Amino acid sequence: MNIEETLSSENYDEFAWLEDTARELGIPFRRPQVRRRWFDVGQGRALSALQWGEADPELVFLHGGSQNAHIWDAVLLLLDAPAIVIDLPGHGRSFRRADGNHGGFQNATLLADLLPRAVPTARNVVGMSLGALTAMRLASARRDWVERVVLVDATPPVDATAVIRAPANHGPLAEQRRRESYASFQEIMDIAIALNPRRGLEGLQRETRFNAERRETGEWAWRYDVTSRRPDHPISRAEMLGLWADIEKIRAPCTLAYAEYSRFVSERNLETLARLAPHATSRLVRDSGHNIQVDQPRVLADIIGDVMASPGRSQAPS
């Protein structure tokens, strides 16, 4: 499908591009059973998700900040496993909080209550970046339910300035990324290209289209809450440091897949993780930036497959 054909309408088939993704991966394409689901979370709010497969989901996938559920498409095509893929609050088609606080603590509180009721078989959690921070708190809060955890290129920070210093949060490009609207889809694409110089154009077009929406005025906007990207947003840095306490409490086997060119996982992060969570393992992913699920989807799918084949929580240290 030519992306230009979709720019004037929101009524496009969001699953039509899966065949293109499969072609880029070099795998045979058989259209998977995938559908969008909605979960009522009260107060007139709904959480959106994609459900992959006909069987009851075994895995939960949580994306990173300013992303959405479709960022996992390539990994899910490779895994061919039943899964529920969440649009986190403030992202994709899910509700937005009035206070703009879409941090990991708020996300985990919601999911800790929702997921065991709504998808009780999906006890294996894969989280990337913001989704990984959410997964840490979720696995700590629901030690009775979570069986395995995969963290993708994220641990808690080792100091309160680590996230603030991240290059993506500063400079003219970051300011452009936080605009409320854009005159055209191409303006959004220009930002996406500048932020992802390693990414192939065709795949990046698909990802960006999933992450953008056209308003009734004809203007375009990101499909996530841009206020959450501001460096001065009141998502507590101390809160993020406190996630190390959650890491210590996790009883499910925990695997960290970290990127060779990571901005967020340093040797200090790895040392702290090994000390506080001796049952955790770390896997280096070569030739990848922060978005391992896009840069090296096959490697990440293999890691997740290995984790799913290994013993779960019942054999983890108590």
Which residues are tagged catalytic?
Answer: 129, 153, 290
Task: In whole angstroms, give the CA distance from residue 197 to residue 204.
Answer: 10
Contact 20, 28 (CB under 8 A): no
Measuring CA to CA, how many Å separate 120 from each of 46, 117, 264, 302, 307? 19, 6, 32, 24, 19
Computed over its alpha carbons, how large is the radius of gyration of the chain?
A: 18
Contact 276, 300 (CB under 8 A): no
Residue 52 β-bridge partners? 34, 83
Angle in degrees, 0-180, between the axes of helices 201-210 and 18-25, rounded to the nearest 10 = 150
Cα 189–chain centre separation: 20
Contact 154, 179 (CB under 8 A): no
Contact 135, 62 (CB under 8 A): yes
Task: In whole angstroms, give the CA distance from residue 76 to residue 34.
Answer: 10
Task: In whole angstroms, give the CA distance from residue 239 to residue 223.
Answer: 26
Contact 51, 37 (CB under 8 A): yes
Task: In whole angstroms, give the CA distance from residue 43 to residue 61.
Answer: 25
Walk across the sheet containing 59-62 and list its strands. 34-42, 45-52, 83-86, 59-62, 124-128, 148-152, 254-259, 280-285
Task: In whole angstroms, give the CA distance from residue 129 to residue 66.
Answer: 10
